[in-house]
Amino acid sequence: MAGPLADVKIIDLTSMISGPLATMTLADQGANVIKVEAPSGDHTRQASGSRGGFSASFLNNNRNKRSLVLDLKKPEGLAALLKLCADADVVIQNFRPGVADRIGVGEEAIRQINSSVIYMSICGFGFDGPYAHRPVFDPLVQALSGLTTVQAGSDQERPRLVRTILPDKLTGIQAAQAITAALYSRSQTGKGQHIQLSMLDTIISFLWSSDMGGHTFVGDETEIEQAQSLIDLVYHTLDGFITIAIQQDKDWRGFARAVYQTGLIDDQRFSTPQMREKNKNVRMEIIQQAVTGFRSAEILKRLEDEDVPCAPVLSRRAMRDNEQVIANDIIIETKHPVAGTLRQARHPAKFSNTPTKIVRGAPERGEHSFELLTEAGFDDDAIHQLEKSGAVFQHQPGEQK
């Protein structure tokens, strides 16, 4: 495969979103990702919104991988997995803490057969502590991390969830970065290591860069977060919504000219960034009143002519046809042999010397089982015995799911 991670072999024991997104990121970058599924398959295969037996969730987190179905509860299935892990560069799992060790695929078991492996464990709340063994889903992490109160605007307002599974997806991105860092370290030292990453740790770290200023200076903490403003930066026009982000003095002057209100330039309430922040609510009300009488295209053109940061507020459908999105070539169409023509986002990073490529769509459950076992050194008789024992499953084309 093309990509900067060509020749990196990854055994992917993960399911749901965080782990599969991490390994798809690495697969898009060229890694040979072997998705090992239980006989029941990744749970997201059953998610709503499907075609040809493939859910959109599974398709959008598992492309460029091959699928191997093994029953790790059977000794033969576990032995087959360990053989595949013997020459792997990375093994990644997102079982609840303690489960991987209990079923025989924990770090110690893998390192006994592959001393230099990068072993990654992903979990929800952490690997120790009173919450470690609790079931976890994205809203729980949003709540425990404080993200819901950040989204609310202040501690007095009703907490609100971010309406996307941010902890899951951000943990996937963080996991992919950590794995590449560990691979680089191994290239320098020859030593593998164990990476532990929790969704809770990921989100708290994420919040600290911009939302925890009141808790940074020890001894001067903010006890109750007050809203700087409960007005967001979305403004309605005659025919839609836009956003305007005024940061510098020149932006304010440009805005005043764009809306034909040059008197705002000399208004002392808005003369400096500090004064504009102090008078945020009044400033935002003035902006709303000023743009209400314009159509979106007209006011955006006037703001752009003044070099004021602005953009239209788009629906997901409208985003697909936006001229900047089209110019970026981020949305692509691919042919899936079962699910048909798919619209997806390409890998976001562009590499000048090692371009990424979509080689295959998300696999059928167990589509590559025999192929992968053959590559691992199993002969036909051994594979037949594994199949007969129920330790391995191979999907056959046209087979009912």
Angle subtended at Cα 369 by Cα 30 and Cα 123, rounded to the nearest 5 degrees: 65
In our burial notation (b when 16+ CB lie closer than 10 A, e otherwise), range 144-181 reads bbbbbbbbbbeeeeeeeeeeebbbbbbbbebbbebbbe
Contact criterion met (CB below 8 Å) for 235 and 244: yes
Query: What is the C-alpha separation between 55 and 46, in angstroms, rounded?
Result: 7
Query: What is the C-alpha separation between 117 and 334, in angstroms, rounded?
Result: 34
What Å distances lie between residue 128 and 85, 97, 349, CA to CA? 27, 8, 35
CB atoms within 10 A of CB 266: 10
Contact criterion met (CB below 8 Å) for 359 and 64: yes
What Å distances lie between residue 145 and 137, 220, 221, CA to CA? 13, 21, 17
CB atoms within 10 A of CB 63: 22
Query: What is the C-alpha separation between 287 and 82, in angstroms, rounded?
Result: 63
Q: Give phi and psi for 173, each to the nearest 5.
A: -65, -45
Residue 200's closest CA among 171, 160, 159?
171
Q: Which residues contact 384 (CB under 8 A, 6 or more apart)?
A: none
* Amino acid at the residue 230: L
Catalytic residue from among 168, 211, 321, 380: 168
Q: Which residues contact 289 (CB under 8 A, 6 or more apart)?
A: none
Say whether 201 is catalytic: no
The residues carrying an active-site annotation are: 168
